[in-house]
Structure 1
Amino acid sequence: MLEEEYQPRRRLPRHLAPEPAPEAPFAYTLRLVEAPDLPYIREIYNHYVENSTVTFDEDTMTLAEWREKFYYLSRLGMPFIAAVSPSGQILGYALVAPWKQKKAFRFTVENSIYLGPASTGKGLGRVLLAELLDRSKAAGLREVIAVVADQGADASIKLHESFGFHEIGRMGKVGFKFERWLGTVLLQKSLK
């Protein structure tokens, strides 16, 4: 055997070592949700149903249920937006829905924001919430309510507070999921 086979490999000095390839930028556009987006929105939402307490739903939503919700919100003129990657992948979505069914509540909505697991921690929730609030105000809505789980959703509470939402109440032990009791934190923002 050759002697050079046993010599340790030399390393390049740091200043000569090749730089790692830069990470691709996190790119997306915001647009209104369209009916063909619904299977992807269902997938994002159902991930949270099955793996977290940020939603109190215990049963995954079907595509038929999402279609019904989509057409209902469309008829009411409620903002329902998606963040879409350059390749067309739905990265996350945000919507508002009527707070209550009684007519007197028609200017008050509850917001929802859900991100695909690979899209969290990149500032997308902040962008979606800003756009959702702008579109809600343009639609003539006045009050936005956020109902956030009191466990495991600290980032959501901080996000809403950074947009001027104020805590208006708490309800303890109103939900039971994954063999534990959960409460909610209610936050509100005026759009006037």
Structure 2
Amino acid sequence: MPTSETIVRPAEPADLPAVAGIYTHYVVSSVATFEETPPPVADWLNRLGDLADRGLPFLVAEVAGEVAGYAYATPWRPKPAYRHTVEDSIYLAPDHTGRGLGGALLGALVERSERAGARQMIAVIADTGSEASAALHRRFGFSAVGLLAKVGHKHGRWIDTLLMQRELGAGAG
């Protein structure tokens, strides 16, 4: 469980070096992302600005003054008919996993995406051999809606992606 020292808040430009560092770990050492080259901090600054312009959340989990994870919602697809559907992304610093931060971030992300007018949230979970992300999403009401087999190739192996979906706000229920 997150401690009383945990704060989930909107990301700020000063957080982005830590965000970039967390993501670099997953780019280099895992198949959780299909990126093969870690994006520089300048790319994160552009993402932060783009999401702010769209009214979409970009959040960080801060533990004892340190960015321990982050989450954001991006447009699912660029075509206008998809404008009410977002995709979530959640990453935790390797030394902060298993402490409930993913749940704190996902809960806040769902709430703020609803407030932003999103009606559906999609999770694209790489490496279906790892259950943690799918289990987290199930706890927050996501259902598996599809499996894309062998759609990514990284670190010498083919990777599946699990698609999960949850209705938000007025679309739920």
Query: 1:58 aligns to what?
Result: 36
User: Is 1:148–1:184's contact at 8 Å kept on the other side of the alignment?
Assistant: yes
User: Is 1:111–1:144's contact at 8 Å kept on the other side of the alignment?
Assistant: yes
How is 1:7-156 mapped onto 2 (pairs within 5 angstroms)? Answer: 27-86=5-64, 88-156=65-133
Kindly indicate which of the two structures has a greater share of residues assigned to strand: 2
Structure 1 residues 147-156 or 182-191, which shifts more? 147-156
1:68-126: CA deviation from partner (whole Å, max 9, x where unpaired): 1111111001011111123x210101100000011111110000000011110111101
User: Is 1:95–1:113's contact at 8 Å kept on the other side of the alignment?
Assistant: yes
Specify whether residues 190 and 70 from structure 1 end up closer, same or farther in structure 2 by C-alpha distance, changes over 3 A only: same
CA distance in 2, matches of 1:61, 1:178: 18
Q: Which amino acid aligns with 1:34?
A: E
User: Is 2:61–2:105's contact at 8 Å kept on the other side of the alignment?
Assistant: yes
SS of 1:29's equivalent in the other structure is strand
CA distance in 1, matches of 2:66, 2:80: 37
Is the aligned partner of 1:162 residue 2:134? no
Deviation of 1:26 after TM superposition, in Å, equals 6.8
**Which TM-score applies when normalising by structure 2?**
0.93
CA distance in 1, matches of 2:153, 2:4: 36
User: Is 1:79–1:132's contact at 8 Å kept on the other side of the alignment?
Assistant: yes
CA distance in 2, matches of 1:152, 1:58: 20
1:9-42: CA deviation from partner (whole Å, max 9, x where unpaired): xxxxxxxxxxxxxxxx572111100011111100
Corresponding residue pairs, total = 167
When the two chains are superposed, the root-mean-square deviation of aligned CA atoms in Å is 1.2
Moved over 2 A (4+): 150-153
User: Is 1:54–1:152's contact at 8 Å kept on the other side of the alignment?
Assistant: no
**Which TM-score applies when normalising by structure 1?**
0.84
CA distance in 1, matches of 2:38, 2:156: 17
Structure with greater Cα Rg: 1
User: Is 1:54–1:153's contact at 8 Å kept on the other side of the alignment?
Assistant: no
User: For structure 1, which runs of at least 5 residues remain unmatched after alignment?
Assistant: 1-24
**Higher RCO structure, 1 or 2 (CA under 8 Å, sep 6+):** 2
CA distance in 2, matches of 1:150, 1:81: 24
CA distance in 1, matches of 2:20, 2:4: 22
User: Is 1:171–1:183's contact at 8 Å kept on the other side of the alignment?
Assistant: yes
Q: Percent identity?
A: 45
User: Is 2:31–2:127's contact at 8 Å kept on the other side of the alignment?
Assistant: no
User: For structure 2, which runs of at least 5 residues remain unmatched after alignment?
Assistant: none
CA distance in 2, matches of 1:152, 1:26: 33
